[in-house]
Amino acid sequence: MPGESEADRAPRLFTALWPSQAAVEHLAGAVSGLAAARVAAASEGLRRFRFVPASKWHLTLRFHGSAEPGPLSERLDRRVAGLTGRPHLRLTGAGAFRSVLWVGAEPASGRDAELLRELVRAAGGDPEEFRAHLTVARWNAGRPSGGRLTGLLRAYSGPWWEVGEVALVRSDQEAEGSAYRTVHRVRLGGPDAEGRDAASSDAGPSDAGTPHAPRSDAGDQG
């Protein structure tokens, strides 16, 4: 486009972990099971409140902005090569900041927490500033009232999964919104890694699609 700089045309990249298919399907079921009336009450006053499609659910380790994928891919290869473990995580709890509703990610043990911090460092991030979370909803303006919005998923806990890879992802702006495409993957090592890879389900963007609309009945759900 006229007047567009090279920086504007460069892809926007981030390094991320894709949850396992089982983790995505479990959370999608919880979101779909929310009563529509409860969601409407919790999101009252929030302009253009909408749930994020499940195919976009991910844990961002580091946002890189406009950058070329080649150097970032090479750096990720080098930094991940020295890691020997695979963290076990689960999605649990909920919170909100700025204009997003998120579900947190919890390591299974202290060792898993350290492995997650090592992945943040490998991505170029600061573990001290990192908060593992997955964005499930967004809105354009307004502030949530009390704790009703986070209360929708505060008690949620999903299944554990083993992280098998870290991904460099490109975000492309399209007519219907942003589209995520994995441009580089780095498998994580560890004992019997090859055998586990054969059955791994966390190899990329989920095929679970968009969660069904919340239930239209007015009944509450704990």
Which residue did the predictor score with more confidence, 83 or 91? 91
Helix ranges restricted to H, the chain? 6-9, 21-32, 36-42, 69-81, 110-122, 148-151, 193-197
Beta strand 88-97 pairing with 12-17? unpaired
Instruction: Show the tokens assigned to 127.
Output: 């573990």
Share of the chain above pLDDT 70, in %: 79
What's the confidence (pLDDT) of residue 10?
55
Assess whether pLDDT exceeds 90 at residue 197.
no
| Distance of alpha carbon 80 from alpha carbon 122, whole angstroms | 6
Average pLDDT on 186-191 reads 79
Q: What is the mean pLDDT of the chain?
A: 85
Report the half-sphere exposure of 190 (CA within 13 A, side-chain side): 16
What's the confidence (pLDDT) of residue 222?
30
Assess whether pLDDT exceeds 90 at residue 7.
no
| Distance of alpha carbon 59 from alpha carbon 202, whole angstroms | 12
